[in-house]
Structure 1
């Protein structure tokens, strides 16, 4: 494979805030590079790659490492996490708060994840998808510009 200029990794609002640790071991680094190579070998078409695992298993770290390896070859990467498609906290624990069953059944807004991220990312001709169902609001000012922004229907609460 000929060397290419590194490409960008575009992160969703929450994944960019996660730490980007160094590979945990030489074996993990080799595994991550091997997976990246298999993805690159599939050609230039878009692939949708899922990373599954238990809580705190290292899915986010592995995803960051994998994205970096893929981008090093000049192939751009969009980096998302389904954590950006969670239901509001009050809805995540609607049932059985002791066993975790309620969280398992209600934590994620899978319909939004499919509609905004997964389904739009599949067709080769698609040009956009949402990496997050909502943009988390930081505790800072929000500046919005537009022509005629002062219209009553926009500024009235």
Structure 2
């Protein structure tokens, strides 16, 4: 039944179904998750939409998608409890450059303040103020996101 929810008319239901399938480690759901992700892409939804993120992470968690972090970005990766992957803001430009050099685009990021013994706090700041034309060739999208 949970797998069938990936065909729901409601994006939130599809998102939550993907998250639940990954949390429950239901391996047989992989082909359906792949189909749901392809349908998501065909609809032209924003890649950083919650449903898209849930589908990608579910596929990654179930071993059907490889998380790729280029070497320099991997070396700069830091450990901040349950914030993962995470990098220090001091390395933000270098990480974005490394990702772009490896054909990856940063569509958004969050800045968190880490306080010793008090945890992590999200800091609202300026957002990305451009709309990405997802119909452009991928190399141009990567370049525009890097810039």
Q: Normalised by the size of structure 1, how large is the TM-score?
A: 0.30
Q: Normalised by the size of structure 2, how large is the TM-score?
A: 0.32
Larger Rg: 1 or 2?
A: 1
More helix by share: 2
